[in-house]
Amino acid sequence: MNSIKDLTDQLFQEGVEKGRKEAQQLIDEAEKKKSELIAAARQEAAQIIEAAKKQAQELDKNTKAELQLFARQALDALKSEIVNLLTDKVVREAIQTSSNDKTFMQNLLLVFVKNWAENGELEIQTSEAKALTDFFKAKAKELLDKGLTIKQVNNLDTHFILTAKDGSYKIQFGEEEFINYFKEFLRPQLVEMLF
């Protein structure tokens, strides 16, 4: 009976030992798989982070370039509006002044009719281009020296004031007006860029 018990104990011990070995083998395989998964996850995370950094840098670079472009466009639009306002006021004032001057109007009509009769065309020519240019420069300077208020640029409401200061001209505006002007100017482009 001893030998059956010894045999049973031996079989039991061998089974337990085999179970431990298999369990240890499963644990070792699981540990190895876990380490491989963690390494792969870390590598993938590093790649995702690197790609996100590159994308963020590219977006930052593009955004700065777009903002510089939009700022240039906004400045160009403001300059254009200043020129348009000056041209409109100078020409309007010159036409109103000259149309009230009967002698000037009679001479102008006489030149028109004379050119029409001689050439068959109605052509406006000026032999005194320098005097005309000097007149418009003087009128523009006069308007600028008085100050010029710009209430709209590219159909955007603004409140910029152009004034003479220290021999040149300065644009005055509050911080809030400047922020609102650029926000309105940039908004459509940013929406297009982002979406």
* Total domains in the fold of the chain: 2
Shared-domain flag, residues 87 and 151: yes
Residue 70 lies in a domain: no
What does pTM read for this prediction? Answer: 0.49
Phi-psi region of 145 (alpha: psi -120 to 50; beta: other; left: phi over 0): alpha
Residue 35 lies in a domain: yes
Q: Write out the residue range of the structural domain in which residue 20 sits.
A: 1-61
Residues in the chain, pLDDT under 70: 1, 98-99, 101-102, 104-132, 153-154, 156, 174-175, 185, 189-191, 193-195
Shared-domain flag, residues 97 and 158: yes
Distance CA 152, CA 80 (A): 11
Distance CA 184, CA 152 (A): 12
pLDDT value at residue 37:
93
Shared-domain flag, residues 95 and 119: yes
DSSP state of 121: S
Name the phi and psi angles at 169, rounded to 5. Answer: -120, 140
Shared-domain flag, residues 86 and 42: no
Distance CA 68, CA 76 (A): 12
Residue 69 lies in a domain: no
Shared-domain flag, residues 148 and 88: yes
